[in-house]
């Protein structure tokens, strides 16, 4: 058990003296959980192999699952990568700082423990003021996956991080709730046609407005089934899973509601405690079960922001099964469905 320092910082009025303590921990090879605009991250010095190993130990994360390296200044990227393709530069100008991760050929400076043994490295520049200030103060690039126990829902609130990682890491920066709620979009820029390896806060449609055609890796659809080497976090392993079993119900909205109600009754008759992940538009249509709205169908950004929080709320309610509505896979809906599919292990009932 590690003695974890808990540091509260207001992102609107950052106390640099408090943040300096966390920066020193990173400089000295320690681990710090901190907020970003997407989810909370668990960071260590990306250039210190021993420090990076502590991330995997704290999370229980497989060592072949690559990490994302976070930087605070554009010029910091050049020592981490071999080359900067023109399309990458266009994306950087359009979306950094922000929820976009780009995959490049790595330089010799980046340890293979960061890249899962690959010759590529994933890099992003977060826009969250605490994350940016922490990286600048530490003077090192920070390798950071999401700050949760591996396989469980990502952390979007400081209470989530405290529950998962207190006693496992050196420090936790509590900086309030995050904004986006799902992890960054990951784009492989080393291939002829840039490819989305993980959908996230920047959509395919937004990317294509800047650089033209963008493909989506087939593993996004099949949740990484089969044997392959993951080039990005979130590709290969089961992720985002609450304690309860998740079943997705897919179909036209009225059919979806009816299908969830029928399945709820069937499962409750078998003695299961059932939760229903509804939306603002449908929550009053259900007759029973633990009903939680994940947001508005008319504004899927609200669903993305609440998704992991709601999965954790069902754990707190102690349900055995979560019956979840599904969403159209366009814009941010692609990222939402990617996370739900992985949480459910592709257990989908079509009605």
Which residues belong to the annotated binding site? 38, 61, 65, 70, 120, 124, 144, 146, 154, 184, 198, 240
Tokens 């002829």 found at: 192
Do 147 and 165 contact (CB within 8 A), yes or no? yes
Q: Which residues are annotated as a binding site for ATP?
A: 61, 65, 120, 144, 146, 154, 198, 240
Sheet strands (E) in the chain: 5-8, 32-35, 40-45, 68-70, 100-105, 120-124, 142-143, 171-174, 185-188, 195-198, 215-216, 245-250, 274-278, 290-293, 321-325, 348-350
Cα–Cα distance measured from residue 181 to residue 170, given in angstroms and rounded to the nearest whole number: 24
Cα–Cα distance measured from residue 242 to residue 311, given in angstroms and rounded to the nearest whole number: 6
Tokens, residue 258: 């009816």
- CA-based radius of gyration for the chain: 20
Q: Which residues are annotated as a binding site for L-threonine?
A: 38, 70, 124, 184
CA torsion sign for 5, 176, 138, 233 is: positive
Cα–Cα distance measured from residue 139 to residue 124, given in angstroms and rounded to the nearest whole number: 16
Tokens, residue 288: 């029973």
Cα–Cα distance measured from residue 76 to residue 62, given in angstroms and rounded to the nearest whole number: 28
> Can you give the three-state secondary structure of 163-197, one letter per residue?
HHHCCCCCEEEECCCCCCCCCCEEEECCCCCCEEE
Do 45 and 109 contact (CB within 8 A), yes or no? no
- Tell how many helices (H) and how many strands (E) occur in the chain: 11, 16
Smallest CA-to-CA distance from 51 within 144, 146, 167 is with 144
């Amino acid at each position: 058990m590690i003695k974890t320092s808990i540091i509260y910082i207001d992102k609107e009025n950052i106390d640099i003296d408090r943040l300096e303590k966390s920066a020193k921990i990173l400089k000295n090879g320690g681990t710090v959980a901190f907020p970003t605009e997407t989810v909370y991250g668990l960071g260590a010095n990306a250039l210190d192999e021993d420090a990076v190993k502590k991330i995997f130990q704290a999370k229980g994360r497989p060592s072949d699952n690559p990490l994302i390296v976070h930087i605070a200044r554009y010029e910091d990227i050049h020592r981490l990568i071999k080359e900067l393709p023109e399309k990458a530069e266009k994306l950087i100008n359009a979306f950094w700082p922000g929820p976009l991760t780009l995959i490049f050929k790595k330089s010799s400076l980046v340890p293979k423990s960061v890249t899962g043994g690959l010759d590529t490295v994933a890099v992003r520049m977060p826009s969250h003021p605490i994350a940016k200030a922490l990286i600048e103060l530490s003077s090192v690039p920070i390798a950071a996956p999401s700050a949760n126990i591996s396989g469980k829902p990502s952390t979007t609130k400081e209470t989530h991080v405290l529950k998962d990682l207190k006693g496992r890491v050196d420090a936790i920066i509590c900086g309030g709730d995050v904004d986006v709620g799902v992890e960054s979009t990951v784009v492989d820029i080393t291939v002829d046609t840039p490819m989305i390896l993980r959908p996230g806060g920047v959509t395919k449609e937004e990317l294509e407005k800047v650089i033209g055609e963008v493909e989506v890796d087939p593993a996004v659809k099949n949740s990484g089934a089969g044997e392959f080497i993951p080039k990005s976090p979130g590709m290969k392993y089961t992720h985002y899973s609450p304690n309860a079993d998740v079943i997705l119900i897919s179909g036209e909205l009225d059919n979806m509601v009816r299908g969830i109600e029928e399945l709820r009754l069937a499962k409750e008759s078998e003695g299961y405690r059932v939760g229903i992940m509804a939306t603002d538009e449908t929550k009053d249509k259900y007759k029973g079960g633990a009903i939680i709205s994940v947001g508005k169908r008319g504004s899927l950004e609200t669903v993305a922001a609440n998704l992991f929080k709601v999965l954790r709320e069902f754990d707190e309610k102690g349900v055995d099964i979560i019956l979840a509505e599904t969403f159209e896979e366009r814009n941010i809906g692609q990222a939402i469905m990617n996370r739900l599919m992985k949480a459910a292990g592709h257990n989908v009932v079509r009605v």
